[in-house]
A and B are shown apart, each in its own frame.
Chain A
């Protein structure tokens, strides 16, 4: 596609529910990043994929968060037993290779009520 696409753009869920956030990177980009951005803050690193494998998942806050990229393209960020503190904008970015410019999607705004 022309850019990084994230769906849904907005998601409201009840506390305790499970959610999935999807990221379609730019075609051919091998590196994919997930970030979380709270209101008024800069993005916070969650996980980085190189191809199908998670090269660095040190930013995932706890075991309720999990991300996959089974075919090295689309990635899904999964959050179990959501909490109100999970409310944030979840940003996805991709780059053609490590070290090159990362292009960001518009984010998914998650609200846990």
Chain B
């Protein structure tokens, strides 16, 4: 079973609308959690990083939340733009195992005009 589960697998929204992507993880002990954006044909690029003591962090139109008790994170995108179309991947760093990164399967977001 994957230690990082994301939902939905894919999402289509209209330009200008908001959306929320979910990430549940079981990785323990937990070091930090990042949301990455991956455009088609490119490597992932970090959007936000959160440690267990942080509940929310914003980066422009992206806001990430973290509940370390329930092991859940969300990424909220406000006023979506066509350029937001990409895969969004939740990545949890394991505090053991050589600080290995564990990736979720991603949510493929398509923003339509």
Query: Interface on A for B, CB 8 Å cutoff?
Result: 4, 31, 33, 35, 40-45, 48, 50, 55-56, 58, 91, 93, 98-99, 101-107
Contacts and interface: CB of A to CB of B under 8 A. Distances in A.
Contacts of A101: 34, 46, 49
A105 B43 contact: yes
Interface in B16-55: 31-32, 34, 41-46, 49
Contact of B103 (A35, A55, A103): A35
Which of B43, B87, B102, B104 has the largest count of A CB atoms less than 10 A from its CB? B43
Pairs of residues from A and B, 8 with the lowest C-beta to C-beta distance, nearest first: A104-B43, A98-B99, A55-B98, A56-B98, A42-B103, A42-B105, A42-B106, A43-B103
Interface in B59-103: 87, 89, 93, 97-103
Contact of B93 (A35, A42, A56, A99): A99
B98 A98 contact: yes
Contacts of B89: 42-43
A24 B4 CA distance: 28
Interface of B: 4, 6, 31-32, 34, 41-46, 49, 87, 89, 93, 97-106, 108
A40 B97 CA distance: 26
A50 B105 CA distance: 25
A42 B49 CA distance: 18
A16 to B, nearest CB: 28
Nearest to B107: A42
A101 to B, nearest CB: 5
Contacts of A45: 100-103
Contacts of A4: 43
A107 B43 contact: yes
A92 B68 CA distance: 29
Given A42-B104, A43-B89, A99-B31, A104 B99 contact: no
Contacts of B41: 106
Nearest to A50: B98
A103 B90 CA distance: 15
